[in-house]
Amino acid sequence: MSPVCTGAPPAADDDLARGLAAGDETCLAVAYERWSALVHALARRSLGDTAEAEDVTQQVFLGVWRGRHGYRPERGAVGAWIVGITRRRIADALSARTRRADLAASAGTALALAGRPGRGEDPEAVLDRVLIRSELARLPAPQRWVLHLAFYEDLTQTQIAERTGLPLGTVKSHTRRGLRRLHGRLTENDRM
């Protein structure tokens, strides 16, 4: 199939949608030119932060490109589809903002309970520790137990196997699965 948006930009949204679905990057550029100002304005108005609105705008058009095969013309125009993606990305950004605020409040409470409020400790480091503990708590018990022994008690996998009575291969599997899950969740939190 020949690219739809190469040459003159398509006048009709249907042509643009067809080009996006076909993987024509020029059509993505045309969609960006047409709707990025609207997307940015919606995000800026909802979030109240220009930098965050720029991030949302990038995420929206990345979502347009990745989800181009899911667009259904019978459900509405391309512009409405893009606004729908924008609304979801704004909601995600607001939700992430709330989670960050909750984590910061938890970190502040943890410091206050520890009797060390503001003792020169890096708030980011405290927040990281709270986030990691929170994500560790969400792991299945065997993975959480093995990772706790490895990182908080500084045991080797052989020592963990001896202490727990688990076969060494099982300890290695729990470690690998737990680290993958943690990585996935922490990476997901970074994106938000």
pLDDT one digit per residue (tens) for the chain, 192 residues: 455 565 555 568 888 888 888 888 888 899 999 999 999 999 999 999 899 999 999 999 999 999 988 888 888 889 999 999 999 999 988 888 777 776 666 655 555 545 454 555 666 676 677 777 778 888 888 888 988 888 888 889 999 999 889 899 999 999 999 888 888 877 765 555
Query: What's the one-letter identity of residue 107?
Result: A
Q: Are 29 and 6 in contact (CB under 8 A)?
A: no
Q: Are 182 and 150 in contact (CB under 8 A)?
A: no
Parts of the chain belonging to CATH 1.10.10.10:
138-191
Fold of 138-191: Arc Repressor Mutant, subunit A (1.10.10)
What's the pLDDT score for residue 117? 45
- Is 160 in a helix, a strand, or coil? helix
Q: Are 40 and 86 in contact (CB under 8 A)?
A: no
Parts of the chain belonging to CATH 1.10.1740.10:
1-123
Q: How far apart are CA 108 and CA 102, in angstroms?
A: 10
Beta-sheet strands, E only, within 1-91? none
What's domain 1-123's architecture?
Orthogonal Bundle (1.10)
What's the pLDDT score for residue 20? 87
Q: Are 69 and 63 in contact (CB under 8 A)?
A: no
* Other beta carbons less than 10 A from residue 40's beta carbon: 18
DSSP H stretches of helix in 67-114? 78-113
Query: What's the one-letter identity of residue 119?
Result: R
